[in-house]
Structure 1
Amino acid sequence: MKRLSIILATIVLAGAGCFGGQTSSSATDGGVFISTNAGVDWVQSVAVPSPKGVGTLNATNIVAMEMDPQDHTVVYIGTRENGMLFTLDAGASWQQPRLAALKEGQISAIDVDPKDVCTAYVAKGPRVYKTTDCGRSFDAETYLDSRTGVNVNVIAVDWFNPQVVWLGLSNGDILKSEDAGNTWSSKTAVKNEIRAIIINNTDSRIVLVGTKGDGFQKTIDGGATWVQIEKELKEFKNGNKVTALVQDAASTTVVAATEYGLLRSKDYGATWEAISLVTQPGQVDIKAVAMDPNDANRLYYAAGSTFYSTTVGDAPWDTSKIQSTRLPQVLIVDPTDSNLLYMGVASAEKK
């Protein structure tokens, strides 16, 4: 595989033993968990090989995850303290990039160019790094916010025209680049932080944005005009506080994880309905949600130490236990095999 050989040549392996130094938890139930049977069973995926031995991610907190859209054996993860890693073998082992700056600190978002396997964007604090050579080098000036306390939360690359890249910032700004990150323009802003951005899979001019307390922002013309969707959420307490967005391959169905619970839209965010869950509204904190892109009724989410799945788009839900005391943060499904799931967990942050 061409991509595999290129990236392997650029990797510097992490050291053996406990990976990446100290974390906020000494427990060894962190890192990535993988299921090959739609969540019935989970196996911890934490091996970090090196010439000195095999290190481990088992004490690492995962906060972001992205699958390469062209090669599904390649998955990138962002950690809370230990930078970025990726697997080239569907989780059998994990590696770090060469750049020292991406081996430490929190990586909040990663996205991969859907048409160029060697181009990826990585968000760390106020900065976006970009590689166009499969990780040999990174441009650390792709975006840098000079405002105190403003960080990049979300990156979304346009599937139709990858020159278009969207950023969601912690202060509520939504930015757009039309030249692959060389220049940026502000398209709109809300009061609260941006938490999710998805691009319609049939018309990339349509973009839906989830926020921490302002509901949704939607554009149908590539950001020229925006509509706020919040009053439509009044019947769902805290439904305007969004944590994640997922959609099917045809963008006929969108599911939002919110502080109310899971909400579903069949008109790309204009109207919403509650999905019936095992738990009561607001009872659990849901950040990890996924949808089979080929079947919008096949949904997965995780909260606390429990994984939930359904094949009918609503109750009843099948459940299984996650062998971790940490909280599920992100969940992705292989679009070519809906039984293959990746989940990242992290300890609760101190407030």
Structure 2
Amino acid sequence: MIKTKIFYLSLLCLPLFLSACISIKSGNSNNALSASAFFISTDFGETWTAKNKIANVEATTKTFTNNVSKIALDPQDEKAIYLGTTDSGIYYTYNYGNSWENVLPYNGTVNDLFVHPKDKCQLYAAIHNKIVKSEDCARTWIDLYFEPRAGQYISSLAIDYQNPDIIFAGTKEGALLRSVDKGVSWSVYHRFDNKISKILVMNHSDSNTMYVALENQGLWRSIDAGANWEDVMQLPLYQPDTVIEEQRPLAKISGVKILSDVTVDLTTKDSLLYANKIGIFRFKVDHWEQYKLLTSKNKATIYSVAVNPLNGQEIYYGTNNAFYFSKDGGANWQVKDLPTTKIAKELEFSPNSKYLYLGTYVIEQ
């Protein structure tokens, strides 16, 4: 077991609320709005509203334009949204983004973040080489774990909804860590050969089934809560529509293991969408299917993908300058301008699918 070092950080929260209601219908005009870090759409991406006002006691309006590295939602409170950033800690709102508070602003990149499924005031975050936790709605934080080696960091987090004492963490070097006591102590549960970019626990159906997405070695699945793992990139690719096996595993396609994003389809028991250098693929239990996209292979980088949690036929993805969506399971696509000059780094639906959220990011040249 790896014991943890704990200390408290006192943080000041300002209970003020400001309103931001600026809608952008098309294009990305070259002004402060297009540089906003966060947008909300109430019509599935037809129009977007910039939400980046910071609550403050001064007369002047303050906004934030930081790179968004993670969007996290509260399973118990649809008004609560948390944003991880690359250089300014965590922003959070309890009113759909009309005003934001900022905590942990000087602690490095927030690589992952989640809210406890049964206690809305418990938050966990992976910030550079540390895992931190708040038990008082982000006011104060404690260190649960830290990686002392230079160049190493915590890259991903996940929690088991059926037993929320169990927490998983992934590292840059590929170690899958597990805690069974809410993060007090940790053990190495499995070692992969590549950075763990995402950990997905199928909490909506069976938390014994979980996936690990590696940075450039594809997707792995466990059906026994992480004890054993299968390389699902070795499963066959079926041709679209005809469902005829192509006599080769997905892994044989060059570039397919280079991850862009991956998300769970909550409308099915065991299915997810996997975006990579080639395009977007749907994994279904024992095989893969590829979507026919408007973007040609290697012509546009896909940075984010989302599925409507109430309708698996509605699929969305974002690139460096456009937003694409399908209402019929990928058979037909529409394309819109992004409301920003930045890339579509994060796409996330509210749990009731009432809102679609966009987190933006500037890629350094």
Equivalent pair of 1:85/1:96 in contact (CA under 8 Å): yes
Amino acid at match of 2:229: W
How far is 1:235 from its partner?
A: 4.4
Distance 2:273 2:191 in 1: 23
Q: Which residue of 2 aligns with 1:55?
A: 62
Q: Could you say if the C-alpha distance between residues 143 and 243 of structure 1 is closer, same or farther in structure 2, counting changes exceeding 3 Å?
A: farther
Q: Could you say if the C-alpha distance between residues 339 and 212 of structure 1 is closer, same or farther in structure 2, counting changes exceeding 3 Å?
A: same
Q: Which residue of 2 aligns with 1:211?
A: 214
**TM-score w.r.t. structure 2 length?**
0.84
Equivalent pair of 1:96/1:103 in contact (CA under 8 Å): no
Equivalent pair of 2:87/2:105 in contact (CA under 8 Å): no
Amino acid at match of 2:304: A
Q: Which residue of 2 aligns with 1:262?
A: 280
Q: Which residue of 1 aligns with 2:329?
A: 313
Q: Alpha-carbon deviations, 1:127-184, whole Å to 9, x = none?
A: 01101121232112x1111122111111111111111111111111111111111111
Amino acid at match of 2:362: S
Distance 2:36 2:361 in 1: 6
* 1:186-335 superposed matches below 5 A: 186-200=188-202, 201-231=204-234, 232-249=249-266, 250-267=268-285, 270-335=286-351
Across the two proteins, how many residue pairs are aligned to each other?
324
Q: Which residue of 2 aligns with 1:121?
A: 124
Amino acid at match of 2:340: S
Task: Identify which of 65, 70, 78 aligns with 2:76.
Answer: 70
How far is 1:241 from its partner?
A: 1.6
Distance 2:296 2:279 in 1: 8
Unaligned runs of 5+ in 1: 1-8, 17-25
Equivalent pair of 1:242/1:259 in contact (CA under 8 Å): yes
Amino acid at match of 1:113: H
How far is 1:102 from its partner?
A: 4.1
Distance 1:13 1:147 in 2: 38
Structure showing greater Rg = 2
Amino acid at match of 2:69: V
Distance 1:349 1:187 in 2: 35
Amino acid at match of 1:184: W
Moved more, 29-38 or 103-112: 103-112
How far is 1:301 from its partner?
A: 0.9
Q: Which residue of 1 aligns with 2:134?
A: 131
Equivalent pair of 2:83/2:92 in contact (CA under 8 Å): yes
Distance 1:202 1:184 in 2: 26
Identity %: 27
Amino acid at match of 2:264: Q
Q: Alpha-carbon deviations, 1:101-124, whole Å to 9, x = none?
A: 445532111011111111110111
Q: Could you say if the C-alpha distance between residues 219 and 84 of structure 1 is closer, same or farther in structure 2, counting changes exceeding 3 Å?
A: same
Task: Identify which of 125, 149, 152 aligns with 1:150.
Answer: 152
Task: Identify which of 167, 174, 195 aligns with 1:172.
Answer: 174
Distance 1:115 1:93 in 2: 24
Equivalent pair of 1:72/1:334 in contact (CA under 8 Å): yes
* Aligned alpha-carbon RMSD (Å): 2.1
Amino acid at match of 2:37: G
Equivalent pair of 1:30/1:61 in contact (CA under 8 Å): no
Unaligned runs of 5+ in 2: 1-10, 19-29, 235-248
How far is 1:257 from its partner?
A: 1.6
Distance 1:190 1:252 in 2: 22
How far is 1:339 from its partner?
A: 4.6
